[in-house]
Structure 1
Amino acid sequence: MLNGVVSAVVIALCMITSGNSFAQSETQKGPRAQTADALPAWIVSCSNANSAGAFNCTMEQTLFVSSSGQRLLAMKLVRNPSDRAQVVATLSLPHGILLDEGATFWVDDGAKSVATISHADASGSYATFQLEPKLADALRRGKVFNISAKSLDGEDFVFGLSLVGFSAVYDILMGAKP
């Protein structure tokens, strides 16, 4: 019963919070990105398919290269299983970036922070960081979550994730009971 109710809420919120992600501006270099027009900017998926039977949710947004459909960048948020008040963010970055530089992120014109790139594999590079309450509040109020990384040839790539619908989906993530 709970799964059916949550699924209905998620579908309803997705329908009213649909929006497109922001791609790079005309002056920025690198591949152009887009989200699928039919999907909301932020999606949430929940499951109890784990050994403890706990109800766990993930929210995410993914940017794709418009010409090929290849994933360019994704951001995923999950609650920390050992402290469910904490949220862990993972940035899935493309190949071809300087790992030592990390990934810089900020909301709108706010203060910038740097996340260390922890590892890379055949699918890209990954930076994981704890979503502090101050950043979570900025994401809820903001319009664009900006992420930049330096390419191997020294150019800055800047990606913008739309924050349309972020608050509603974040509320679902935080309201999911174990």
Structure 2
Amino acid sequence: MNLTIMTFAAAAGLALATAAPAEAATKTWTLRDWTFSGGGAASGCYDYDAETDAFSAINIVTTAGSIRGGDTYVKAVSPSTASLPDFLGADTGGPGFSGDPRLIVSLAAEMTNLGGLIALNLTVGDTFRSEGICAIANCGGAASRRLLVAGSVVSAVPLPAPAFLLVAALAGLGFAARRRSAC
């Protein structure tokens, strides 16, 4: 009987250990404590899939400060990357991106599908941590630019797979049972 229970427990543990937890590839990243020189802040979130290097569901709002008013950002500019998100606001009707609001951010590390907390890279040049208006059609240069001076992005970190926890618990019970029978 004891052998049957142990065999069943081992088979159940093996089955659960090989099952992977359901984890979405796309992670939602939330802006945390973003502030600009001259006042104003940014808040909101966006989805990022590190496997496809794709941004979606962008919803970022900036508030007015002494340098410029606020804007809403809803799309990513290509080539946005895991460590250099580049967002555009509403199309103002100018040629190309000319006149459109732009928010470009340099992160201290690349975003991954594992989530976590990543600070803004505040040591890069002004171009890569600013909000402004695209000066020309390809969005080179920016007018009315203000700099990001603080902030980070955060995303939920996946929990360990339940199978790992079950196997660890069974191993602990097995060790305790073996120790008990040794006396």
**With structure 2 as the length reference, what TM-score do the two structures score?**
0.31
Higher relative CO (Cα under 8 Å, sequence separation at least 6) belongs to 1
Task: From the CA coordinates, give the structure whose radius of gyration is larger.
Answer: 2
**With structure 1 as the length reference, what TM-score do the two structures score?**
0.32
Bigger proportion of residues as strand: 1
